[in-house]
Every structure is written in C-alpha cells, then in structure tokens.
Structure 1
C-alpha cells in the first residue's frame, strides 16, 4: 500500500517515511493547479475543467465553483451534480472529502480532514479522517468542518459554526461548537 492510500486510510504519516517525497510531489501538484485557477478569470466551464484535472474526476456541468478555491492536495475531493461552492473556500482533502448531489457550500468555508498528533515529538506528522456531506446539505459562510464529520441529508450548518460532531439528516446546527437548533421545516 503506497503513502497516498495509507494517508487516506488515516494512518499517521511520518515526515521520515521513505515515500514522503511522493506526498510532497502530490501537494505541490495541488498547489500548482489551484494557483493557476486563482491567478486569473476563468469561465465556469474552464473552472470545471481545471477542478476536474485537480480531482481526477470529470465534474458534471451542473456543478459550479466560484474561485478563489484552495486545497493542499485535491486528489481526494469527490463532487456530485448540482454542487455549488462559493468563493474563498479551503478544502484540505488528504483524508477525503465527498459532497453529494445538491450540496451548497457558502463563501470562506473550510473543510479540514487533517490533524496532527497530540504528542509534541509527533506533531509535525499528519493523520486524516474523511468528511462526508450528504445530498442537499448547506454549509453557511465561514463555517469550519473538522476531520471525520458527516453532515446529514438536507442539513444546514449556520454561518460561522465550527462542526465537531456529526450532523443528523434534516437538522440545523449553529455555534462553536455547533449544536442542534431544530429540525428542518417541511
């Protein structure tokens, strides 16, 4: 199993790992592609093509991403149909980020799948947990979603919230840490 597979699985990746240069190469690739994306104006079609190159996934024509868009990796992002990602978002996807059909991501949202060990002697190393956002969920402006979180179908994360626990289907959460406010009105 190579370093990218071990990283996505959630293993602690040490800087001393003999395959670490392969990871650095992948990180530089992600930064290069997003740098090109954010350097000038691109039509929605051109933006989808650039993000498709970044993720290795052909994006559906109904998916819309508004630059600037940042990621440190890019290869573990999966986007469904009718996904909307607003300006200024950061996706740290080394653990995997999946946005199902119809997901809305507000401006300046951070999806963070990476973390560092608590022990000081291991802190420079990284482990990951995936983020999964289900159909028609909406993450409001400036929210932060931490590693290992699932946002349920139709759920809403209020602007500025920090999500530290899974969000149930059809639920609105808000705050730091985010807590359930109420169920979605039908």
Structure 2
C-alpha cells in the first residue's frame, strides 16, 4: 500500500518530532556496549514495541524512524543493517537478516518540484525468510515465506514463497523444496 507524505504537513511534523528522539536513541545504542537484553530493550524504545526475547540484534543497527518497524519472534539481525521504516517494515518469525542488509520503505518523488516529498510503501518479510549479506530490499516488496535472497541482490519485485532469488535486479534462481 502506497501513501504520500508532504513536507510542512502535520504528519511530517510529527515524524520529525519522533525522529529527533529516536536518532539520539540509535546513536546511543551504537556507541555503547550492551548485552543482548539491553539491545532488545533499547530497540523496543525505538520501535515503541516490545522485542521478543528470542530475537537477536547485532550492532551497529540503524533505522531512520523506528516507529513503523515490527519484529516477529526468533529473528536474527546481523551487524550493519539499515532499515528505513517510515512506510512500514514487517518482519515475520524466524527471519534471518545478514550483515549490511538495507530494507527501504521510503522513496522520493520523481517530479523535480516534489523531490523532497516522500512516497511510502510497506515491506513485508514473511516467516523463515533469509536475506543474505548486503541485500537491498526496495519499497513495496513482499518476501515470501521460506524465501532466500542471495548475498548482494537488489530486490525490486515480490519474491514468491519457497523461492531463491539473486542478482541485480534479483531474479528467480530456483524453487526451494520442502523437507521430506
């Protein structure tokens, strides 16, 4: 689902207020020395949702907004991940996110006079998906259940369940067979 956000509106001003608080929290998180429980507590402050004790987030961890980021259970987020979540990022259970992954739900408008305004499209990463190192997921993409995105891929289209994709832009490599 796409929505628009324009500079100078009430909604944009509210985002800026949250950003002022959350960017300080992100900086503190990445400049401190914390154990797994403390990391989850601090990310819970940023997202305004409790991060389940089964989820592990390695530092550094970056988000531009934080309040539209939703983690399932038993998620593993490796170091150096950047999540641009203003449009909404939904991460299911048992998801693996490799180092250096970028997940983006925000884009700028094409028209030069509107370039600083935003288009927002949610990203959904379904249960048991695996994003390899340095993957980029673009706005509006859905990664299906059990899907694998190979390292370095740029995902611009939905990835079906039980499918492996790779490349720039990502293309289907193969279907993943279920366990026997």
Pairwise same-fold verdict (TM > 0.5): yes
Gaps (5+ residues) in structure 1? Answer: 1-8
What's the CA shift string for 1:66-91, capped at 9, x where partnerless? 01000110001111110000000000
**For 1:126, which of 118, 123, 128 is the aligned residue?**
118
Tell me which residue corresponds to 1:60: 52
Tell me which residue corresponds to 1:139: 131
SS where residue 142 of structure 1 aligns?
A: coil
Residues 29, 73 of structure 1: 8 Å contact kept: no
SS where residue 11 of structure 1 aligns?
A: strand
Q: Which runs of 4+ in 1 moved over 6 A?
A: none
What is the RMSD computed on CA atoms of the aligned residues?
1.1
The 2-side partners of 1:142 and 1:20 are apart by: 30
Residues 5, 11 of structure 2: 8 Å contact kept: no
Tell me which residue corresponds to 1:148: 140
The 1-side partners of 2:165 and 2:78 are apart by: 20
The 1-side partners of 2:10 and 2:79 are apart by: 37
What's the CA shift string for 1:8-43, capped at 9, x where partnerless? x74321213244322211122221111111011110
SS where residue 26 of structure 1 aligns?
A: helix
**For 2:75, which of 77, 83, 94 is the aligned residue?**
83
Tell me which residue corresponds to 1:34: 26
Residues 136, 155 of structure 1: 8 Å contact kept: yes
**For 1:105, which of 93, 97, 101 is the aligned residue?**
97
The 2-side partners of 1:20 and 1:143 are apart by: 29
- Of the structure 1 ranges 119-128 and 21-30, higher mean CA displacement relative to structure 2 is found in 21-30
Q: TM-score, normalised by structure 2?
A: 0.95
Residues 2, 120 of structure 2: 8 Å contact kept: yes
Mapped pair 1:157 → 2:149: yes
